[in-house]
Structure 1
Amino acid sequence: MNSDNNILVKLNNAGFRQNNKWLVEDVSLQVEKGKIVTLIGPNGSGKSTTAKIALGIYKNIEGSIEKNTNKIGYVPQKISIDWTLPLRVKDFMVLTENINDDQINEALLLTGVMHLKNKNLGNLSGGEFQRVLLSRAISKKPELLVLDEPVQGVDYTGEIALYALIKKISDTLNCGILLISHDLHTVMTATDHVVCLNGHVCCSGSPTDVAKNSEYKTLFGEQASQILSVYEHKHDHEHSDEGRIKKN
């Protein structure tokens, strides 16, 4: 049974207007400890705006927000890095965070990239870099983790492995996660609740319920709903951290 004590952040009919245009409006959702809430929707649907409302970045909002934690980790959709700089992973981890070596090691171990600690950031693959970003975000063991498209630049197999890792982080740290994704069926096994946005909440519920919703089908097509059904039915195996199927 859910308890109000478990609610980390709650949006009540929240919206944000900029230059006389609504970026998103009338969004209600909540993220609880140990739960993953996924925002999906087409480009420009308000996913990143909603995440920034939850983070408290946008102050002048419509509606209201209730936040019950200040221990928050964040992986933004875009991050600017001068890849010519000889910056090692361990240097990147402490650029803007006051964390010690034990915290760095623990975070890198959890995300499976401890072996990259002394590697130059510019030599990492897309999947490795995303894992380092996750490591940096969880280094202080946040209660709330906000992830904006955390699998970009990663192939399909890598996406599945990263979503499995995100689920592992949620379980290990018992943190709530607000996750933005472009694709519902790849997060099928790693999310508890889905909110589908298109400037407002089109539908919400379990991944299966959302996939059957007529508004979801209108946005993503009947084929997307069928793909999810196939994925749900056939995904009866586990993946290793590298994305390979584990053998029994």
Structure 2
Amino acid sequence: MSLITARDLSVSHGRRQVLRGVNISIDPGEIVTIVGPNGSGKSTLLRALLGMLRVSGQISRKPGLVVGYVPQKLALDRSLPMPVSCFLNLPTRHSPAKQAEVLRRVGVPDIARQQVAELSGGQFQRVLLARALLARPDLLVLDEPTQGLDQNGEAAFYRLIEAVRREMGVAVLMVSHDLHVVMSASDRVICLNGHVCCEGTPHVVRDAPEYRALFGQGTQGALALYQHEHDHAHHDCDHDHAAKKDIAHAG
């Protein structure tokens, strides 16, 4: 059974339709990445799936589904005197042992007493992840979790996400602009531009005409590190097979 499924999902902000006719499902244990240009509705889709927006269409969730959410931005005054241990207790209190376990799992085991204001960008992202994992989620939702990190920091964070999935069995749904890194860490990629343009394993999406139309020919190396035994993608319209083959060869 899928953890969460949306059928014919549409969202409007005033008179502007941001999403239309989106069909998406997330299965247990998989890592799914949503990519798309600015204004394509990526963050809106996450908020809709989490029940934070009024939508048309149908959204169904597995009974008892627990979601851990790492937002794109957190309205937190990092200059406030607040140690990491106190931050992890917002809004639900957790034992020091549980805090220590998740901090170890995300690779920052010795910072519970450190002030949030003293954390680097990479450390703070890991603390946000630890906070989300304290709920023992079935589904981890991350909205551009590596904003502000350099390329090495991005790569390290996505390796961490893969390790968390492997150790905890949690499914991951994330939005990212980091095409050169994040796709190699994904089981499935959904290319969004107000609707689902194409979807499938990363190396298949790379060769999809819709993806190339949005991101250009310079993306052909973005997925070079990814290898997968499956080779299946879904497109929202029919394409000539020979044309697709030509595009693939051009990469």
What range describes the TM-score normalised by the shorter chain of this pair? 0.7 to 0.9
Alignment of 1:85-234 (within 5 A): 85-224=80-219, 226-232=220-226
User: What secondary structure sits across from 2:110 in the alignment?
Assistant: helix
Matched, 1:62 2:56: yes
User: What secondary structure sits across from 2:211 in the alignment?
Assistant: helix
Matched, 1:12 2:7: yes
Q: Which runs of 5+ in 1 are unaligned?
A: 234-248
Summarize deviations over 1:23-77 as a string: whole Å, max 9, x none. Answer: 112111111111011100111110011101111111x312111101431100010
TM-score (ref. length: structure 1): 0.87
2: CA distance between counterparts of 1:213 and 1:192? 16
Q: Cα gap change, 1:194/1:229 in structure 2, threshold over 3 Å: closer, same or farther?
A: closer
Structure number with greater Rg is 2
- Residues 77, 150 of structure 1: 8 Å contact kept: yes
User: What secondary structure sits across from 1:38 in the alignment?
Assistant: strand
Per the TM alignment, residue 231 of structure 1 is displaced from its structure 2 partner at its CA by: 4.0
1: CA distance between counterparts of 2:8 and 2:164? 29
Per the TM alignment, residue 131 of structure 1 is displaced from its structure 2 partner at its CA by: 0.4
User: What secondary structure sits across from 2:25 in the alignment?
Assistant: strand
Identity over aligned pairs, percent = 41
- Residues 106, 139 of structure 1: 8 Å contact kept: no
User: What secondary structure sits across from 2:4 in the alignment?
Assistant: strand
- Residues 35, 176 of structure 1: 8 Å contact kept: yes
**Which residue identity does 1:95 align to in structure 2?**
L
**Which residue identity does 2:58 align to in structure 1?**
S
Per the TM alignment, residue 185 of structure 1 is displaced from its structure 2 partner at its CA by: 2.7
The residue number in structure 1 matching 2:29 is: 34
Superposed CA RMSD: 1.3
TM-score (ref. length: structure 2): 0.86
Q: Which runs of 5+ in 2 are unaligned?
A: 228-251
1: CA distance between counterparts of 2:65 and 2:176? 24
- The range that moved more, 141-150 or 62-71, is 62-71
